[in-house]
Chain A
Amino acid sequence: MHMHKLEKIWLIFGLAALIVFLSTIGVSAFYLGNKPPSCLTTVDPEKVDQTAPFNKPGLHKVEGKDWDYELVFVAQAFAYTPTQVTVPLGAKVKVIATTKDVVHGLEVAGTNINMMLEPGYVSEYTTTFDKEGEYLIVCNEYCGTGHHLMSSKIEVKK
């Protein structure tokens, strides 16, 4: 088969780009262990308030784990519990969240903490809060008439 020289160049270029992009995803998933926030951990949506760790929403220090703190959020129409929380700068935190009623979002604006909360499922995201500031938490899944009023706040300070 006759193939033009330039044609060979752009095919190699395209294949190389594809390999680089897919390897990045592969390293992220299998070496760094990144996964979707909802990873099939379940909770009875009617007993969220009685089930650990959702019986005590807020920031808790933990020992002997890969992260220093656990930040527990419970979402319901149309509010988050807690409504405000302070996180020490540089803390490695596992954010654990679920919802008591319908699908909600939990997006910490300007960060990678952005997950969907589904009734019956637990969503988690582990990260290091390494930038000071006030971060607004908003619901980014339309959940009803009060959707736009649903917010919370994280303050990161020394």
Chain B
Amino acid sequence: MAKAQLKNGPKSNPKVQHKEESESLKGTMASVMFLGFFIIVTWLGVYFLFVDRF
């Protein structure tokens, strides 16, 4: 019992859990921003094509 508690100890610590969570969202942030910039770049491409033509 004492050993098992020691193993689970750090995981149940809210501070450590929060740190783990913030690290796990970095990849999501990167992919969201990649998709966002892709959408903006293609949108601007079509917009300037429209403005440039008569």
Contacts and interface: CB of A to CB of B under 8 A. Distances in A.
A9 B32 CA distance: 10
B39 A17 contact: yes
A13 B33 contact: yes
A103 B32 CA distance: 43
Contacts of A10: 29, 32-33, 36
Contact of A112 (B26, B40, B47, B53): B53
B23 to A, nearest CB: 10
Q: At the interface, is chain B mostly helix, strand, loop or mixed?
A: helix
Size category of the binding interface on chain B: 10 to 19
Contacts of A13: 32-33, 36
Contacts of A9: 29
A24 B44 CA distance: 11
Contacts of A6: 22, 25-26, 28-29
A30 interface: no
Contacts of A112: 50, 53-54
A31 interface: no
B25 A4 contact: yes
Rank and list the top 8 A-B pairs by shortest CB-CB distance, nearest first: A6-B29, A10-B32, A6-B25, A112-B53, A127-B54, A111-B53, A130-B54, A111-B54
